[in-house]
C-alpha cells in the first residue's frame, strides 16, 4: 500500500492548516487533520448540479460556492450552454493555485474554461452583492446547515442567509445546498423565505457509498424550467469523471467542507 505524500500546505483564514496530499492517482485535501475532500468520491456534487440545473430554463449565470478539487464546477459547466457564465467563489487562494498547478486535470481543467468567472473571496459576499443576479446558486459549503465545522458559516444557513440567497436568485431560480444529513429546521427556513423546498438523498459515487442530502429550493415567478436537456443545455466541455468536495465558500469553514 502506497503512503500518502504531502504535496503542499497552507492555512485557511481561520488558521486551520490545509494539506494537499497524493497517493498514486488519488488526491485529498485535509483541514486541521481531517479529510475535507477526496478525488474518488464525487457523485453527490455532480448530482447537485444536475438536480439544480434541470429545474432552470436556459441558465445564464450560475454561482458555485467552493472550488475544492474542481468537480462541482466541472459538472456545472457540462450542464450549461456555451453563452452561460459560471462564477466560482473560493475563499482560499491556495486552493486555486493547487487546482492550476496540481489537480486541474482531474476535472478537465475547469478554471481554464472561458465560461468560468473566478472570484477569490467569501461566497456570502458574492451572493449579497448581486440581487437577482443568478439563475442558480450551488453551495457545497461546510458539512451542511446542522453539521458546521466552523460557526461563521452559519450565516449562510440562517434565516438572514437564506433570505439573501433568495434575493440573489432570479424568478424561477434555484438554490441547491449539499449537506451531510437531513435538517428539518433548514427546510422550514427555506419555506419561510418563500422558496419551494425539496429534499433529495444521494450517494457519494454513482449512487453508492455514503448517503448525503441535497436541499433544492426554487424561487417563484419564473416561466418554468425543464428537466434534462430541456432545462439545462449540454455545454461545450466533455464529461469528465473525478471527484472532490468544495471549499471555496465554506466547507470546513474556509470556504469549503468536511
Q: Which three cell numbers stand for residue 174?
A: 434555484
The predicted pLDDT at position 214 comes to: 93
The predicted pLDDT at position 41 comes to: 80
d(CA 189, CA 168) in angstroms, rounded, equals 16
**What number of H helices and E strands is found in the chain?**
7, 11
Domain range for 66: 41-230
The predicted pLDDT at position 234 comes to: 36
CB-CB neighbours of 11 under 10 Å:
13
Determine whether 82 is exposed, middle or buried from the number of CB atoms within 10 Å of its CB (0-12, 13-18, 19+): exposed
The predicted pLDDT at position 31 comes to: 86
CA 23 distance to own-chain centroid:
25
Residue 226 lies in a domain: yes
The H or E element that residue 192 is part of is: helix 184-192
pLDDT tens-place string over residues 134-188: 999 999 876 678 766 566 777 899 999 999 999 999 999 999 998 888 899 999 9
Residue 89 lies in a domain: yes
Question: What Å distances lie between residue 133 and 67, 101, 185, 190, CA to CA?
Answer: 20, 31, 27, 19
The predicted pLDDT at position 149 comes to: 58
Give the Cα-Cα-Cα angle 212, 213, 217 (nearest 5 degrees).
155
Residue 239, SS3 per DSSP:
coil
Strongest mean pLDDT among 141-145, 198-202, 224-228: 198-202
The predicted pLDDT at position 115 comes to: 98
Model confidence at 122, pLDDT cuts 50, 70, 90, reads: very high
Residue 140, SS3 per DSSP:
coil
Residue 4 lies in a domain: no
pLDDT tens-place string over residues 64-108: 999 999 999 999 999 999 999 999 999 999 999 999 999 999 999
Give the CATH number of the domain where residue 220 resides.
3.40.50.150
Mean pLDDT of the chain: 83
Residue 115 lies in a domain: yes
Number of domains making up the chain: 1
Residue 53 lies in a domain: yes
**In terms of pLDDT, which residue wins out, 43 or 15?**
15
**In terms of pLDDT, which residue wins out, 245 or 239?**
245
d(CA 180, CA 257) in angstroms, rounded, equals 10
Residue 29 lies in a domain: no
Q: Give the ranges where 101-158 is alpha helix by DSSP (H).
A: 123-128, 154-157
Q: What is the pTM of this model?
A: 0.83
Residue 64 lies in a domain: yes
Strands across the sheet containing 134-139: 116-120, 85-90, 61-65, 134-139, 169-179, 208-219, 195-205
Tell whether the model's pLDDT for residue 254 goes beyond 50.
no
Amino acid at each position: 500500500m502506497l503512503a500518502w505524500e504531502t504535496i503542499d500546505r497552507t492555512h485557511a483564514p481561520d488558521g486551520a492548516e490545509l494539506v494537499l496530499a497524493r497517493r498514486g492517482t488519488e488526491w485529498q485535501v485535509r483541514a486541521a487533520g481531517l479529510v475535507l475532500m477526496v478525488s474518488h468520491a464525487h457523485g453527490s456534487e455532480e448530482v447537485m448540479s444536475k438536480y439544480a440545473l434541470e429545474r432552470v430554463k436556459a441558465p445564464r449565470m450560475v454561482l458555485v460556492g467552493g472550488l475544492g478539487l474542481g468537480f462541482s464546477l466541472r459538472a456545472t459547466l457540462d450542464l450549461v450552454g456555451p453563452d452561460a457564465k459560471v462564477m466560482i467563489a473560493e475563499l482560499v487562494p491556495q486552493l486555486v493555485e493547487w487546482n492550476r498547478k496540481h489537480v486541474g486535470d482531474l476535472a478537465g481543467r475547469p478554471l481554464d474554461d472561458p465560461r468560468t468567472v473566478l472570484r477569490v473571496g467569501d461566497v456570502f459576499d458574492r451572493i449579497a452583492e448581486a440581487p437577482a443576479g443568478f439563475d442558480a446558486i450551488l453551495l457545497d459549503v461546510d458539512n451542511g446547515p446542522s453539521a458546521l465545522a466552523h460557526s461563521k458559516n452559519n450565516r449562510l444557513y440562517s434565516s438572514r442567509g437564506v433570505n439573501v440567497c433568495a434575493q440573489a436568485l432570479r424568478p424561477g431560480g434555484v438554490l441547491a445546498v449539499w449537506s451531510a444529513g437531513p435538517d428539518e429546521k433548514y427546510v422550514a427556513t427555506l419555506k419561510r423565505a418563500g422558496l419551494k423546498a425539496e429534499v433529495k438523498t444521494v450517494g457519494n459515487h454513482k449512487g453508492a457509498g455514503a448517503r448525503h442530502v441535497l436541499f433544492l429550493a426554487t424561487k417563484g415567478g419564473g416561466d418554468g424550467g425543464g428537466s434534462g436537456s430541456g432545462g439545462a443545455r449540454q455545454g461545450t466541455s466533455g464529461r469528465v469523471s473525478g471527484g472532490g468536495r468544495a471549499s471555496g465558500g465554506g466547507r470546513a469553514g474556509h470556504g469549503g467542507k468536511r
